[in-house]
Amino acid sequence: MENKKLEISDLIVKQFGPRTLPSPLLTHEHLGVKESFFVKPGECIRMDIRSNPGEDAELCLEVAGPEKEIFFDPENTKAAILTCGGLCPGLNDVIRGIVYFLDDWYSVNDVIGIRYGYNGLSSNPFSPPVQLTKEYVSDIHMSGGTILGSSRGNPPVSLMVDNLLNMGIDMLFCVGGDGTLRGAHEIAKEIIKRNLNISVIGIPKTIDNDVPFVYRSFGFRTAVAMARDALECAHIEAKGAFNGVGIVKIMGREAGFLTARSVCASGDVDYCLIPEMEFPLHGKGGLLEHLRRHLKKHGHHALIAVAEGAGRHLIGDTGEKDASGNVRFNDIGKFLKDEISKAFDSWNEVVNVKYIDPSYLVRSIPANSEDNIYCADLARYAIDAAMSGKTDMMIGYWHGTFVNIPFGAIGSKKRMTGDCKLWMAVLSSTEQPIDWW
């Protein structure tokens, strides 16, 4: 998905039609919600909310939510869910939310879980799907991970659509990152090409928080909390030794959002190194000399937070790729540890470097309460969209409002910039020089 200039038409959500069924939310005695709760057709928010907007002044995003007329008949609707890519806190919350709300709000009881991501739609899946009931999923939000399992890589799109047809699926919820959403876009396009009525709805998952139109991705807050704890431990280690230097590697292949937020939450970090910033290592203005001066001035300890994708200008990558096609990186944490030790050896000064790579510990924990709520919301809005017959879209979150975003509008991943407010918050809580960016 490339980054092009968005047109108004790019933001119009595709929808099967006509929609003639009244929403059960309106008719069910138990629910019987007020009219004021429904989203009106065409209800939008501005993409640029400044009073003096820029060139995107005309662009609007469709507000997510239930509509009074729906497309799918609850009695004959079969839904499927799959989760792809790396783990992220909240996956089970999303699964649970979809199963609960489909039943409670739309009386849709036939929901299956596709096992191990898109692999479950291949011709030879690792495991068959499981039937998901409220009882089956009632406690899953207490655990991290995903009860459906996950995997990387996609089978051929046409095969996946064949299998959706074979299984009689009417709506597919794809929970995953960049690659997963691209895959969902291809599936949705193939379905439209074949003139089928299968809704494909994406729920963006990215612990890096780098999906456009998603202000804060689910699991991100939980991950920040855990990364903060790891930083606190490294801080303690650094203070426990003379010229102690703690290094914590934090997830983030190409975006530093998780690292930067964790640094702000910690308040004790001296250097924040992210993929977007090519910091100098050697020489007078470089990290090593700066660190040396810092140790002398500030109690003989220092704390460095480094994103896994930072420093590629210094170490390159391995040349290998994983099953998702992601390039494998060299270990920047190990590299920094070695470089710092070598430098201090050359200066004949003591240094004690402690390197922590919390890795999976950050992403496999259960969602915290913020993400519990956020994931339930995402699930509910995804269902509303699907029941209304919308397709080829994901749920976004923009200026505090849940919105429906066509897959085609997504464009390239978010990156931090040197003048964004988050980076200024980082600069204000670290000791690092501003001219590294």
* Residues assigned a catalytic role: 208
Residue 370 binds a second copy (CB under 8 A): yes
Residues 280 to 339 in contact with a second copy, rule: CB under 8 A: 300
Residues 65 to 84 in contact with a second copy, rule: CB under 8 A: 65
Part of the chain binding a second copy (CB under 8 A), chosen from 93-101, 199-207, 276-284, 312-320: 93-101
H-type alpha helices, 194-240: 220-239
Half-sphere CA count of 286, side-chain side, radius 13 A = 13
Residues 139 to 178 in contact with a second copy, rule: CB under 8 A: 139, 141-147, 149-151
- Exactly one of 71, 72, 101, 218 binds a second copy (CB under 8 A); that residue is 101
CA distance 404 to 406: 7
Cβ at position 436, least distance to a second copy in Å: 12
Cβ at position 435, least distance to a second copy in Å: 7
Phi-psi label, residue 117: left if phi above 0, alpha if psi -120 to 50, beta otherwise: left
* End-to-end Cα separation, the chain, in angstroms: 27
Residues 192 to 221 in contact with a second copy, rule: CB under 8 A: 215, 221
Residues 249 to 278 in contact with a second copy, rule: CB under 8 A: 261-262, 264-267
Exposure string (b/e) for 294-324, b if CB count within 10 Å is 16 or more? bbeeeebbbbbbbbbbbbbebbeeeeeeeeb
Residues 371 to 430 in contact with a second copy, rule: CB under 8 A: 372-373, 376-377, 380, 399-401, 418-419, 421, 424-425, 427-429
- Exactly one of 9, 20, 32, 297 binds a second copy (CB under 8 A); that residue is 32
Q: Is 222 within 8 Å of 90 (Cβ atoms)?
A: yes
Exposure string (b/e) for 134-152, b if CB count within 10 Å is 16 or more? eebbeebbeebbbbbbbbb
Part of the chain binding a second copy (CB under 8 A), chosen from 35-43, 158-166, 192-200, 305-313: 35-43
Cβ at position 273, least distance to a second copy in Å: 18
Part of the chain binding a second copy (CB under 8 A), chosen from 97-105, 169-177, 188-196, 304-312: 97-105
Can you read off the two tokens belonging to residue 84?
Answer: 């792809």
Strands 352-356 and 199-204: unpaired
CA distance 370 to 83: 21
Residue 136 binds a second copy (CB under 8 A): no
Residue 49 binds a second copy (CB under 8 A): yes
- Closest CB to a second copy among 28 and 192? 28
Residue 348 binds a second copy (CB under 8 A): no
Cβ at position 427, least distance to a second copy in Å: 7
Half-sphere CA count of 121, side-chain side, radius 13 A = 34
Nearest to residue 377, comparing CAs of 203, 192, 208, 224? 203
- Exactly one of 237, 270, 276, 308 binds a second copy (CB under 8 A); that residue is 237
Return the SS3 of 284: coil
Cβ at position 65, least distance to a second copy in Å: 8
Cβ at position 327, least distance to a second copy in Å: 19
CA distance 361 to 437: 30
Part of the chain binding a second copy (CB under 8 A), chosen from 70-78, 225-233, 251-259, 280-288: 225-233
- Closest CB to a second copy among 151 and 259? 151
Residue 9 binds a second copy (CB under 8 A): no
- Exactly one of 15, 23, 119, 259 binds a second copy (CB under 8 A); that residue is 119
Part of the chain binding a second copy (CB under 8 A), chosen from 49-57, 184-192, 206-214, 335-343: 49-57
Cβ at position 111, least distance to a second copy in Å: 16
Burial class (CB in 10 A: 0-12, 13-18, 19+), 284: exposed
- Closest CB to a second copy among 230 and 395? 230
CA distance 398 to 67: 20
Cβ at position 412, least distance to a second copy in Å: 21
214 beta partners: 397
Return all residues near 349 (Cβ < 8 A) that are at least 6 apart.
243, 292
